[in-house]
Structure 1
Amino acid sequence: MMNTELVFVDSLAAAGNDYDALVVVASDLGNLPAEIADTVAAAQRVNAKVASSTQVLLCDKAPGQRLILAPTGPVNRDFDDVRRFYDAARSAALAAVDAGARKPLLWVPAAPQAQTQADDFAHAVEAVWFGFAQGIWQPLEAREHFGDEIEGIQQVGLIRSAALSAETSAEWLQAVEAGRRVARDLCGTEPERMAPLRFAEYCQKAFANSPVKVTVIDDKPQLEHEYPLLAAVGRASFGTHQRPCVIRLEYTPEGAVEQTLMLVGKGITYDTGGADLKTGGHMAGMSRDKGGAAGVAGFVKAVAGIRPQGVKVVAELAVVRNNIGALAFVSDEIIVGRSGVRVRIGNTDAEGRLVMADCLAKLVIEAAGETKPSVYTVATLTGHAALAKGPYTALVPNKAARQGGFVDALLNAGELWSDPAELSPSRREDFDFVRGRTKADDLLSSNNGPSATTRRGHQFPMAFLHEVAGLDKHDASSSQPIPYVHIDIAGSGVEGGDWQHGKPTATPVLAFAGAFLRK
């Protein structure tokens, strides 16, 4: 799954002849090391863009005589963050591949010196690695057609610096990136190549010979009995090669368990909208509606590589295609979920919360018997999240998650590791919105309009999931509170918001790794 090897190098001199390009990511071109300062100064005299955009320069002191200069721009303004380094490295990766480099050496000679691990740029050097890896990734279909060599880069060296966190190893960075690679592959692949059972097959291969146990549930009677809301969404897909499944991933550490992370990922392999059909060209790009399940699988892949002590991880991926046909479920149906809650369907295109609901209900029951559990749903759920938060992930927590520090952990890790999110508190209006309207039902899945034009369109789905999964019995004031955070990545799941062509970002793998997989 991970083809590019990462190696730490002590210095430029220690690199010898092992590399064929030097990639310098710098925030201050006026304070560059002597080895390259003259080359950069000469280039600036004839090219004003050297200080503001990625350039490939001829440099006798650089490996392979290739100097790839990637300026970050200013990093001292209130709105600057570590993504300046991530983005510069991503641009440099594209330039390195185009220049024919195969073994580039990354150097951050002037990273801001962090005073504490909470400083904004404490992980700038690590961000350069992750940004560079993001840049070289090519879609799974392309690699299967042309071969893995299409990505070009075989090995990356990273020069150690005082700014590199002492607890960061090359193995840790590579394990997290292997997870991000899995997330991009699963999210970014077209709907036939990554149909539900092929999604499951990819996961089985990704976790082969690892400490993660993989269980695939695709039996129709079992799904109808244990995951009735999911089965309803996939009703028209049973009997086809697109039939739905639930993929369960379990990691149990050696020794004592100190906390348990329980995650549910939305894996709609193609979102047609169902009977409430997407029209007007809005169906294009809906093969990426599996980004939540992809991100969860990617985080578990990082866990498999790092094998953290004390952290148990349980995940269920709801992988479904909401085909259109005579058997498709429709609005106004009342479906009894796993928890016994009666759900009236408001709009079949609000299917993501339905496929996650029964998985979440199952994990909530299991959480009661786990050590320090916290529960998460991850989904490309609403256009409203993209409208309200732009390119940022929306975190919608319950009170137990806020009081327990879980949402702060994700927010802080996202800022430090180039995977930022914003807080969207749930409110009483959200719970009122989903409350059943008649004695015939307990909950309404959604209204019948687009989320982007619905007030609190990305917050009220959390209230639905909270209630349908039985989390109302585990509020902060209960005898057994369960922290829960709903994570909407509709605005952050692909670069530039281009759902048909943009590279998947692998969110929220970096935020979760930074929050839970550090010592």
Structure 2
Amino acid sequence: MAQVEFFTSAEDALFGEGGWDAVLVVSQEFALESHPELAQLVSHAASVDQRTGKEATLLLAPGLAGGRLLLAPTGDLSDDYEDVRRVYEAAEEGAKMAFRAGARAMLLLLDLPAGDPRYLNAAEVAALGVAQGLYLNPDVESQPRVRIGLMNGQDVVRLNALEAGRVAARDLCGGDPEQMAPPAFADYCVSLFAEEPVELSVIDDRQQLEREYPLLSAVSRASFNIARHAARVVRIDYNPEGEIHQTWLIAGKGVTFDTGGADLKVGGAMAGMSRDKGGAAAAAGFMKAVAMLRPQGIRVVAELGLVRNAAGSDAFVPDEIITSHAGIRVRIGNTDAEGRLVLADLLSHLREAAQGSPAPRVFSLATLTGHVVRAYGPYTGVVENSVARVSQQGQLMQQIGERWGEPVELSTLRREDFAQVAPRSESEDLLSSNNGASVNISRGHQFPQAFLLKASGLDRHQLASDLPIPYLHVDIAAAAVEKRDPLYGKPTARPVATLLAMMEEL
């Protein structure tokens, strides 16, 4: 994995103290009133090169750390429709330029307008942008250690924990179908948490999986006899000592490769489907950050469903009726709508864990639908159940995501969504999906939550129940990789930063 580590740095580091070898400035206008020496260098460069301050630039800077001054312009941040991603992207581009120039110990300095609430977390977001720019896939042989000196008062302990989680999420999401097949994904998690204060278990026994996770096991049926592709369920439980005030329960979809199954993906649509495990990857990354920070008063449990949806003689097929862990008879409408089957059994187990737990709240994380990409472009889609909507959980996630450069679009669950999955005969209680692609189905990213509520038994925990449980379904199909490119886009680790900030604010 990438060897990026954050440190706190003082002003004298700019001039060579501490062994730093570059200064990266992220700014809108590069006024640098608090750093006149830097302002003079920028002014001189602008007098001979009109690109200065308008595009990423490397300046020769004798006397500065490493003799390198890199300017990473954000562009105009005052426009009503801009957001902190401009800072993230500028820092990412500047860091990549510095790395290509040979810098391995760079200082990060922000010079941005104050007072705009959109940029409240700009200093932290810039640091995360630098780390995103420097991330290398774990199979890259050369993984040099890169030190980042932070000069704007960022909390380096928190950032290092957050970035460790983001690295794990990117590693797990980006690994190819063999590197991160279900057993290998599970092994990575075992190693990742070996020294952390969590209880981790891996279920690999086929009979146990078929008994306790019947829908998940159906998806994996054609893969069970291939040892390196056989399904796993990973459970990670962070349960600190002392009184617990709230409980987070997270289900992560980990389809390590999705052929579509019997409803085979055709026309090139199968390429990139090794990234269909982005939800489980993000859940594992979030748990890593939590485990390193060790917050008190909150228990966090994640279940990761790791399967390969393979085509083969033993593949599950449309029209099968399979009883979920929650006892719901599910008729399969389309085997390429497999992610909701995996999540439903995970959510049912987490529903049981919610019984007797203080202030439980549930999340599902998944690269679930093409419809969310069609509807929202590059943004994460969040669908609330009634309890989350009344308590404005989705709105809170949207507000926090905006500040952390991980924007969220909020959807409303409607009665039509339940009609989409209503039984069509007396033989079933629920229909998993239509028999078409979600991009061509009305409300294609909203109605899966209706299915998840019913199939998992979470619909028994509505507002009038004895235990109302807020539940957010988070569809990251459009946000899990850069540029919405499932084949070659670098994994983004969304929404790990948002979830961590949300946990801290609740």
Give the TM-score normalised by structure 2.
0.97
Among 39, 43, 46, the residue aligned to 2:45 = 43
Q: Distance in 1 between matches of 2:451 and 2:265?
A: 23
- Which one of the candidate residues 213, 217, 224 is aligned to 1:238? 224
Is 2:142 the counterpart of 1:147? yes
Q: Aligned partners of 1:455, 1:513: CA distance in 2, in Å?
A: 33
- Larger mean CA deviation between 194-203 and 78-87 belongs to 78-87
**1:486 partner letter:** H
Letter in 2 for 1:25: V
**1:70 is matched with which residue?**
72
After superposition, give the CA deviation of every residue in 1:282-304 in whole Å (9 maximum; x if it has no partner): 11100000000000000000001
User: Aligned partners of 2:355, 2:18: CA distance in 1, in Å?
Assistant: 57
1:177 aligns with 2:163: yes
Match 2:446 to one of 440, 459, 466: 459
Aligned counterpart for 1:120 among listed residues 110, 118, 121: 118
CA deviation map 1:228-261 (0-9, x unaligned): 0000000011121200010000001221111111
| Aligned length, in residue pairs | 503
Q: Tell me, in whole angstroms, the C-alpha distance in 1 between the residues paired with 2:373 and 2:50.
A: 36
Cα distance between partner residues in 1 of 2:291 and 2:45: 45
What is the deviation of 1:21? Answer: 0.2
Three-state SS of the structure 2 residue aligned to 1:385 is: helix
2:362 counterpart SS class: strand
Distance of 1:169 and 1:270 partners within structure 2: 37
Q: Which residues in structure 2 correspond to 1:17-166 (within 5 Å)? A: 17-32=18-33, 33-108=35-110, 110-114=111-115, 119-142=117-140, 146-149=141-144, 153-160=145-152, 164=153
2:280 corresponds to: 293
- Contact map agreement 2:9 2:150 (CA 8 A) in 1: yes
Alignment-derived partner of residue 341 in structure 2: 354
1:428 corresponds to: 415
Partner of 1:507: 494
Contact 2:234 2:304 in 1 (8 A): yes
Q: Counterpart in 2 of 1:10?
A: 10
Kept in 1, the 8 Å contact 2:423–2:430? The answer is: yes
Quote the Cα distance in structure 1 between the aligned partners of 2:384 and 2:427: 29
Secondary structure in 2 matching 1:466: helix
CA distance in 2, matches of 1:404, 1:310: 20
The one-letter amino acid of 1:113's match is A
Deviations 1:472-516 (Å, cap 9, x if unpaired)? 111112221000010000111100011011100001101101111
SS of 1:67's partner is strand
Structure 1, 6-15 or 236-245: larger mean CA deviation: 6-15
The 3-state SS of whatever aligns with 1:376 is: strand
Paired with 2:85 and 2:279, the residues of 1 have a C-alpha distance of 22
Partner residue of 2:206?
220
Residue identity matched to 1:413: I
Contact 1:396 1:462 in 2 (8 A): yes
Q: Secondary structure at the match of 2:51?
A: helix
Using the alignment, how far apart are the partners of 2:399 and 2:348 within structure 1? Answer: 28
Shift in Å, 1:13? 4.8
Shift of 1:420: 1.2
**What is the CA distance between 1:518 and its match in structure 2?**
5.5
Distance 1:405 1:106 in 2: 36
Structure 1: runs of 5+ lacking an equivalent: none
What CA distance in whole angstroms lies between the structure 1 residues aligned with 2:314 and 2:122?
52
CA distance in 1, matches of 2:416, 2:274: 32
Give, as a single letter, the amino acid of the residue that structure 1 aligns with 2:304: L
Residue 445 (structure 1) aligns with: 432
Contact 2:333–2:435 (8 Å) recurs in 1: yes
Q: Does 1:477 align with 2:464?
A: yes
> Post-superposition shift, 1:17?
4.6
| Root-mean-square deviation over aligned CA pairs | 1.4
Shift in Å, 1:10: 2.6
The Cα shift of 1:2 comes to 6.4
- SS of equivalent to 1:455: coil
- Structure-2 separation of matches of 1:66 and 1:206: 36
In structure 2, list runs of 5 or more residues that go unmatched: none
Contact 1:111 1:125 survives alignment (8 Å): no
Partner of 1:195: 181
TM-score computed with the length of structure 1 as normaliser: 0.95
